[in-house]
Amino acid sequence: MAAEQVDIAIVGAGFAGMYMLHRARGMGLRAVVFETGDGVGGTWYWNRYPGARCDVESMEYSYQFDDDLQQEWSWSERYAAQPEILRYANHVADRFDLKRDIRFETKVTSAHFDDADGLWHVATEGRNGAVDTVAATHLVMATGCLSSANVPHFEGIEDFEGDWYHTGRWPKEGVDFTGKRVAVIGTGSSAIQSIPVIARQAEHLTVFQRTPNYAVPAHNHPVDPERETWFKANYKELREKAKQGRSGQLYSVRDLKWGSEPLETAKAEFARRWDLGGFSYLGAYVDLLVNKEGNDVAAEFVREKIRETVKDPETAELLCPTSVIGCKRLCVDIGYFETYNRDNVSLVDISKAPIERLTKKGLITGGKEYTFDAIVFATGFDAMTGSLNRIDIRGRNGLPLVEKWEAGPRTYLGLTTVGFPNLFLITGPGSPSVLTNMLPTIEQHVDYVSDIIEHLRAHGQKTIEPEQEAEDAWVDHVNAIAGGTLYPSCNSWYLGANVPGKPRVFMPYPGFPAYVKKCQEIAANGYEGFRLG
């Protein structure tokens, strides 16, 4: 029997995949979405760990493609928690009747481009191992930037007799830590959000920290109804204004460089922004991720706050990061540092003595065994490329994407890659993605892909693929921009440094407005840098 044929195969039913499906239908195209989980929501489907919450303000962390949708939905808190965001994703899916074209519990195992018929052949594995193949003209990878969980290969993990969890694969039914001795490994955003909540439940919590992290307070609170009304009345203007911000958000980034004000004024500005909460802290000066001197002052301000908050001076010092602030994604916390003042919480520094192995009862580090009932791996993700590379994607002449990207991802606009016609990577490496509010970034990419597909159809063309020179120039451009910042100065997942053996390449593109402008210019010039055929 001939394989089912569609116009667009979409991988992933998170916010990117859902919107892509909606746009495809609007263009009269036959589209199908494959999703491993049994529901929509992507990141927010998988990351159900205690305390999971958005670090972008909820009034901004939502779709803007439909005014009725944004007017009718009400967020309850300044920073929405995971269950509310998942409810929103389901609301959107139901409102636009998306679920009927989403194949849940269906994993894409391979996607091969066939030069002979010019189609993508997508193989899937569904419920009870049922395999299937769909042929598609276009393949859209809406697989998310932080979807491939990174569970370090600790020796002895199979010996551990307690329960272990990864924050990004949290059980749907939740976990009750009451009366349990719990370990959390890692101190990134997921750990910083979950530690205060787990500490309130567990009998004892031990945090294993390899590198301390910067966190600024969320000052979370219920959304003020007056502010909501004002926001909704001005949504259009506010959304446009947010797009002019480097991360696609409304928080203010002053057009002032470090050194343009006296030190005391600068410190007062950091204090003011600390009290506002959230990412605005790094908007005090426009060049804080370029100017090391300014960055040092911003970093020291946070260290002073940690020392003021954490009562035990030794623990406080261990919690003080020394790297560039903002080099790793800044964490937005609710009572993280205060948690270390609890009697049932201890911190173990593993920077010099890594975890040697897991045992039946717990783990060994520094020659000492620590015993637990449960271990939480808050160890992050194989970011940006992980979820693409774990699928067997092959382009022209059977070239595997993993092989092409052996030395790091290479794309044109973070959206397409030479040798893989009609393959689109939503918020892929080389696009602003994780440095921005993901929702507007996703919409910009999905709209761009939709425009490309309409253009192809209008001109009777079937394929689009970047030219080699355009891709090479784009990769050089992204590297040059990142190289001019302080981002490469630490071991972050932006660089792939958290996954052993991963090539060290800065993957996202810093600067949302410049990126959007470039995309628009390319389209206006007849999709310059692309070969249409």
Is 184 among the residues that bind ligand N01 (CB under 6 A)?
no
Q: Both tokens of residue 123?
A: 């193989």
Q: Both tokens of residue 428?
A: 């892929």
Binding mask 337-376 for ligand N01 (x = CB under 6 A): -------------x----x---------------------
Is the CB of residue 182 less than 8 Å from the CB of residue 342? no
According to CB under 6 A, which one of 37, 118, 126, 152 is a site residue for ligand N01?
152
Is 187 among the residues that bind ligand N01 (CB under 6 A)?
yes
Q: In terms of CB distance, is 174 or 354 closer to ligand N01?
A: 354
Q: Hey, what amino acid is at 58? A: S
Q: In terms of CB distance, is 45 or 474 closer to ligand N01?
A: 45
Helix residue spans in 108-188 (DSSP H): none
According to CB under 6 A, which one of 362, 380, 419, 429 is a site residue for ligand N01?
380
According to CB under 6 A, which one of 191, 250, 266, 413 is a site residue for ligand N01?
191
The torsion angles phi and psi of 485, rounded to 5 degrees, stand at -115, 180
Q: In terms of CB distance, is 167 or 444 closer to ligand N01?
A: 167
Give the residue at shortest CB distance from ligand N01.
188
Is 324 among the residues that bind ligand N01 (CB under 6 A)?
no
201: left (phi over 0), alpha (psi -120 to 50) or beta: alpha
According to CB under 6 A, which one of 498, 508, 509, 510 is a site residue for ligand N01?
498
Q: C-alpha dihedral over 276, 278, 280, 282, to 10 degrees?
A: 120
Binding mask 417-456 for ligand N01 (x = CB under 6 A): -----------------x----------------------
Burial 311-325 (b: 16+ CB within 10 A, else e): eeeebbebbbbebbb
Q: In terms of CB distance, is 148 or 422 closer to ligand N01?
A: 148
Residue 409: C-alpha distances to residues 273, 388, 403 (Å): 36, 10, 10
Q: In terms of CB distance, is 191 or 306 closer to ligand N01?
A: 191
According to CB under 6 A, which one of 190, 220, 437, 441 is a site residue for ligand N01?
190
Q: CA 217 to CA 197: how far, in whole Å?
A: 15
Per the DSSP assignment, residues forming a β-bridge with 411 are none
Is the CB of residue 194 less than 8 Å from the CB of residue 378? yes
Q: In terms of CB distance, is 28 or 501 closer to ligand N01?
A: 501
According to CB under 6 A, which one of 41, 42, 144, 188 is a site residue for ligand N01?
188
Is 490 among the residues that bind ligand N01 (CB under 6 A)?
no
According to CB under 6 A, which one of 106, 143, 211, 387 is a site residue for ligand N01?
211
Is 186 among the residues that bind ligand N01 (CB under 6 A)?
yes
Q: C-alpha dihedral over 363, 368, 369, 371, to 10 degrees?
A: -100
CB of 120 to ligand N01, least distance (A): 29
Q: CA 445 to CA 36: how far, in whole Å?
A: 22
Residue 104: C-alpha distances to residues 20, 38, 140, 149 (Å): 16, 5, 17, 19
CB of 128 to ligand N01, least distance (A): 31
Contact residues: ligand N01, CB under 6 A:
53-55, 146, 152, 167, 185-191, 193, 210-211, 329, 350, 355, 378-381, 434, 491, 493, 498
